[in-house]
Structure 1
Amino acid sequence: MEQQPNQPSPENIMKIGTGFWASKILLTAVSFKLFTRLAEKKTMKAKDVKDLLGLKCTDRNVYDFLDALTVFGFLKREGVWDTAIYSNTVDADTFLDTNKPSYIGGILEMMNNRLYTFWGNLGDGLLTGLPQNETKRSEDFFGLIYQDPEKLKEFTSAMSGIQMGNFMAFAQKFDFTKYKTLIDVGGSAGLLSIMVAKHNPHMHCTSFDLPPVEPIANATILQFGLSDSVKAASGDFFTMPIPNADIVVMGNILHDWDEGNKIALMQKAYDALPPGGAFVAIEGIIDDERKQNVFGMMMSLNMLIETGTGFDYTFADFNKWANIVGFKSTSIVPLAGPSSAAIAYK
């Protein structure tokens, strides 16, 4: 029977309620490096996928797995059942092949390895206001990551993955003609600096992060062949001044902290800028009416899971803090997907 307009429907309830099923299918495919292997082979049959991945489940389970990924838009399929031949879609081939510099799967790897389990405790986080990650075992989250080379590599890859599209968009949408130098505070693997220098050859950029990250950033800079215009530098942006530059960028940094620390970091950025300089925060800026950017709201809940006190914010929030610090004006530039660059001018 056709559903009448305005009649109640369980469709959205079930879609959201079972959302973790879809998520885990994608995360598992990424953990298996399925898209990388398909990129290498170009096309594969389900039996070949089963053999290559060493899957012990039934053939039907494999078809369910691959066909679900097809319906989700990550795979293409010609034929059905034993005649089916699978290949990557353009998006999967571009962003989920580990051999390509455009790979963004690092954030998905971290979601699978860390966040999937921690988000199972969201209710506890809301009830207690406390983080639900490694800190529940009395471990320092950032300290643990920066002391463990494997965890640090996973974390920097995750930060690169979640921001790559934004960095590419920012490098091409922002007007750099009035500026010569940029410092990316908490720059991780250095990809923002690399993208800016690649698209704006007159710019000299510095990726600034804690000492254990510097070798990772240097390796990435070398990979892109931009050592003449991009440098890596070490330091702690809480305990030392931010080095001077015409543009100070923070990508997914402000949302880690409570309001007091957000303002303190914006003040440090202000102090590092010349008159006319720009401070840029690249994050999932939530729309002021809080009706559209659900990703920003979910990321804000992720900050509860990870830090307890951090949160994502609206452009109105950003304007308030910029005014407190003393910036003259602000603007916002939409980037990739749900993210934007909130900009404050000195």
Structure 2
Amino acid sequence: METSTKTKISPSRIIETGMGFWASKTLLTAVNLGLFTHLAKGALTAKEIKEHLELNERSLYDFLDALVALGFLNRKGLEQTAVYSNTAETDLYLDKNKATYIGGMLEMGNNRLYPFWNNLEDALKTGLPQNEVKNGNMPFFEVLYSNEKRLRQFISAMGGFQMGNFISFAKSFDFSNYKTLCDIGGAGCELSMQVSTHHPHMECISFDLPKVSEIAQEKLEEMDYSPRIKIVSGNFFNEDFPSVDVITMGNILHDWGTRDKKLLISKAYQALPKGGALVVLENLIDDERKENVFGLLMSLNMLIETYEGYDFTASKFKRWAKDAGFQKTEVIPLAGPTSAAIAYK
């Protein structure tokens, strides 16, 4: 293979990506140990961190300094004289005592998803999920709904992980011509809360399964958002959607195969009035399928977790929406790799 003398070829990116699980597991372990929550109270020496987290002396500095090199910790001094503190990002997003905490998703990544991804090769060859069902257990969501503590943790993790997107959507979407909204699969009703906060004229419904709705109702009463937000229980496959001006779905469609995706889009069309909007918040894969790495990897995660789910491009959503009867679509970028795909009736 001939190469230009001006082009410098290096194996660095291959090595860094191939061994990327080293960095991933280091961050996930730090989150799981609560390191950033401890440091949110103030800077600590390595010895103090060792005592707080009950760590062994061996590799203590390697662990902490790897987090420094990765950009997740600040440090003054070196080794025995070193004092460690959070960066602005880790202090905001990885302190469990802050409402902006997104570590719940990372905890789930560490405790559940990490070992399942070891079987990606099997998933690619069989097309079958590699999570709990592989060993004969119930599907993940059935396991989740059977344990209230685990369900609460999951709802909290998803809410924190999506909060930036919900805030961005509430600020970016033009609600001036609408009065009502229903969030299908509303979980802890965080999206409804953000819309209500930024648009006091909006009345919102958070629609989810009964066990989830009970948790959302508790949260709603704690936050005192009533009566502008209503919790409605139901199964979005078996029951009609409420008749509202705007229907939202946050990371719902990617859980399902094409047939069910089309069904949910069609049900939204039937429930909306003329001029109404369906808003899908997803990690939309770019149409050329080469830029949104997170969206593509999330789609592989759907392979690991579900029987038919996958992430999709804006062009595919546009086609499905048109087939359902929607007149036009648009895309609004949100936080990070997430976008709002909007279909207007």
TM-score bracket, shorter-length normalisation: over 0.9
Q: In 2, are the aligned partners of 1:194 and 1:224 still within 8 Å (CA)? A: no
> In structure 1, what residue type is equivalent to 2:294?
F
Q: TM-score, normalised by structure 2?
A: 0.95
Aligned-partner SS, 2:123: helix
Aligned partner of 2:19 in structure 1 is 18
1:168, CA displacement in angstroms? 1.0
CA distance in 2, matches of 1:314, 1:97: 33
1:223, CA displacement in angstroms? 4.1
CA distance in 2, matches of 1:221, 1:68: 41
Q: 2:69 aligns with which of 68, 71, 76?
A: 71
1:86 pairs with 2:87: no
Aligned-residue identity in percent: 54
CA distance in 2, matches of 1:90, 1:221: 30
Aligned partner of 1:210 in structure 2 is 209
> In structure 2, what residue type is equivalent to 1:290?
R
> In structure 1, what residue type is equivalent to 2:49?
V
Q: 1:112 aligns with which of 110, 113, 134?
A: 110
Aligned partner of 2:55 in structure 1 is 55
Q: In 2, are the aligned partners of 1:110 and 1:154 still within 8 Å (CA)? A: no
Q: Deviations over 1:184-223 (max 9, x none)?
A: 1111111111111111111111211111112322233344
Q: 2:124 aligns with which of 102, 117, 126?
A: 126
- Count of residues paired in the alignment: 340
1:187 pairs with 2:197: no
Q: How does 1:30-45 map to 2 (within 5 A)?
A: 30-40=31-41, 42-45=42-45
Q: In 2, are the aligned partners of 1:27 and 1:109 still within 8 Å (CA)? A: yes
1:224, CA displacement in angstroms? 3.4
> In structure 1, what residue type is equivalent to 2:237?
F
Aligned partner of 1:231 in structure 2 is 230
CA distance in 2, matches of 1:7, 1:308: 43
Over 6 Å off, 4+ runs: none
> In structure 2, what residue type is equivalent to 1:50?
K
Indicate the larger mover: 81-90 or 15-24. Answer: 81-90
Unaligned runs of at least 5 residues, structure 1: none
Aligned-partner SS, 2:187: coil
CA distance in 2, matches of 1:109, 1:69: 17
> In structure 1, what residue type is equivalent to 2:130?
Q
Aligned-partner SS, 2:40: helix
Measured on the aligned residues, the alpha-carbon RMSD in Å equals 1.3
Aligned-partner SS, 1:162: helix
Q: Deviations over 1:55-111 (max 9, x none)?
A: 1242xx111111111222221111111221111111111111111111111110110
Aligned partner of 2:322 in structure 1 is 323
1:181, CA displacement in angstroms? 1.1
Aligned partner of 1:249 in structure 2 is 248
CA distance in 2, matches of 1:85, 1:229: 48
> In structure 2, what residue type is equivalent to 1:155?
F
Aligned partner of 1:9 in structure 2 is 10
CA distance in 2, matches of 1:71, 1:177: 46
Aligned-partner SS, 1:113: helix
Q: In 1, are the aligned partners of 2:99 and 2:160 still within 8 Å (CA)? A: no
Indicate the larger mover: 202-211 or 113-122. Answer: 202-211
CA distance in 2, matches of 1:68, 1:245: 50
> In structure 2, what residue type is equivalent to 1:93?
D
Indicate the larger mover: 47-56 or 201-210. Answer: 201-210
Q: How does 1:193-342 map to 2 (within 5 A)?
A: 193-342=192-341
